Amino acid sequence: MKIPFNKPYFTGREAFHLSQAAITGKLSGNGNYTRDCQLFFEKKYGFNKTLLTTSCSDALEMAALLLEIKPGDEVIIPSYTFVSTANAFALRGATIVFADSGTLNPNIDPSLIEALITPKTRAIVVVHYGGIACEMDTISEIAGRYNIAIVEDAAQGVDAFYRDQPLGSIGKLGTFSFHETKNITSGEGGMLIVNDPAMIGKAEIIWEKGTNRAAFARGEVEKYEWVGLGSSFLPNELTAAFLYSQLEHLKIIQEKRLQIWQEYHSRLSTPATEGYFSLPYVPEYARHNGHLFYITTRNSGERDRLLAHLLSNGIHAVFHYLTLHNSPYFSTLHDGRKLPQADRYGATLLRLPFYSGLQSDEIDYVTTMIRAFYKK
Ligand SMILES: *Cc1c(COP(=O)(O)O)cnc(C)c1O
């Protein structure tokens, strides 16, 4: 049996919506499909304002521009995350202050944040790893006390919740990714969620190359002009049309993914209870979205041997992030603090094949091969 790590899910409606977008002849951004996608999210999750972007990386860069991050500003970011979370702020000249993960899951450890705050701290960026919410009450309380903005990198967090609040709706700004590996996709794509009403106008200007074209399109101004800094962050209508077809199946996709997650969990719970490896920890306040399934091994050698064992049996499992404070770009810029939990996830975390079309017999095969490795 050969099992890839990821297979994009097709709803069967993509070609219809793509041809609809083409027939209208409006291919550039901020057309009907863009608006329909944004409205979908605003209605379903109560987001104040959403803007589709060409990627989550771009949405994070918009967040850094919106917060007017400049050289000398400090931004607190978990080290165990994707490059873009930090790169977006480093691009604006910020000093990145990396934080450690918790002991129970890879999310930022809220108890370590306050000690990292200085008068220069401008933002705390949280990453909801695997769509499992960070402990937002504690983080919001600290950020509020010091008047620091929270940005949620909810790239993996579509349709996941912290208590009753959708991920992406809790910080001043939130970001989603629609990359091929995420729950819903447009190949490449993303979205900025603007929760602070005072930032909406400026967000639209940044989105549209520093112009007030969005206000012009609504007939609010007579001409559009260069009114601020920005770039071209909006996707074309074909991307939005593809995404729209996925949104029509969001419920089906989410049901499938949660079922797959549960199946992995129950098939691996016995060897996990016996201490061979750990399963994902989902706190009671987190309602996750079945974005990924990982185990953590007892040490890095065992993780690498298990990966090789699975690969030789046709199963494409993968490791995940290499900690950013140790990266070739950043290691000489890091202040030298040890981040042991982040490093532990970098060394021991292993992700299993996960996509909406994964079948029960395939999950059975993967988990049987894991148990065979441990002779269980
Ligand atoms: C996928 C991902 C990104 C980047 O998303 P793109 O849409 O590929 O730019 C950023 N942060 C996290 C946590 C991610 O998982």
The Cα–Cα gap between 281 and 271 comes to: 15
Whether the per-residue pLDDT at 289 is higher than 80: the answer is yes
Half-sphere exposure of 330 (CA within 13 A, CB side): 22
pLDDT tens for residues 144-188?
999 999 999 999 999 999 999 999 999 999 999 999 999 999 999
Q: Is there a shared CATH topology between the 14-247 domain and the 250-374 domain? A: no
SS3 category, 98: strand
**Range 92-119 average pLDDT:** 98
Residue positions counted in the chain: 376
Instruction: Report pLDDT for 149.
Output: 98
81 CA closest ligand 1 atom index: 13
Whether the per-residue pLDDT at 335 is higher than 90: the answer is yes
Instruction: Report pLDDT for 293.
Output: 98
Whether the per-residue pLDDT at 376 is higher than 90: the answer is no
Instruction: Report pLDDT for 183.
Output: 97
Q: Which CATH superfamily is domain 250-374 in?
A: Aspartate Aminotransferase, domain 1 (3.90.1150.10)
CATH C-level class of 14-247: alpha beta
Instruction: Report pLDDT for 295.
Output: 98
Instruction: Report pLDDT for 306.
Output: 98
Instruction: Please tell me the residue having the least CA distance from ligand 1 atom 8.
Output: 179
156 CA closest ligand 1 atom index: 15
**Range 269-276 average pLDDT:** 96
Return the C-alpha torsion angle 124, 125, 129, 134, nearest 10.
Answer: 30
Instruction: Please tell me the residue having the least CA distance from ligand 1 atom 2.
Output: 155
pLDDT tens for residues 337-347?
999 999 999 99
Whether the per-residue pLDDT at 375 is higher than 90: the answer is no
- Please tell me the distance between residue 57's alpha carbon and the centre of ligand 1 in angstroms: 6
pLDDT tens for residues 127-142?
999 999 999 999 999 9
Q: Is the CB of 81 under 6 A from ligand 1?
A: yes
Whether the per-residue pLDDT at 66 is higher than 90: the answer is yes
Q: Is the CB of 153 under 6 A from ligand 1?
A: yes
In which band, very low, low, confident or very high, does the pLDDT at 206 lie, cut at 50, 70 and 90?
Answer: very high
Whether the per-residue pLDDT at 87 is higher than 80: the answer is yes
Q: Is the CB of 105 under 6 A from ligand 1?
A: no
Q: Domain coordinates of the chain in residue numbers?
A: 14-247, 250-374
Across 227-247, b (16+ Cβ under 10 Å) vs e yields beebeebbbbbbbbbbbbbbb
**Residue 210: burial class (beta carbons within 10 Å; 0-12, 13-18, 19+):** middle
**Range 59-78 average pLDDT:** 98
**Range 189-217 average pLDDT:** 96
CB 175 within 8 A of CB 63: yes
The angle that helices 32-45 and 237-248 make with each other, rounded to 10 degrees, is 40
In which band, very low, low, confident or very high, does the pLDDT at 86 lie, cut at 50, 70 and 90?
Answer: very high
SS3 category, 323: coil
**Range 83-111 average pLDDT:** 98
CB 289 within 8 A of CB 159: yes
Q: Is the CB of 171 under 6 A from ligand 1?
A: no
**Range 38-64 average pLDDT:** 98
Q: Is the CB of 126 under 6 A from ligand 1?
A: no
Q: Is the CB of 79 under 6 A from ligand 1?
A: no
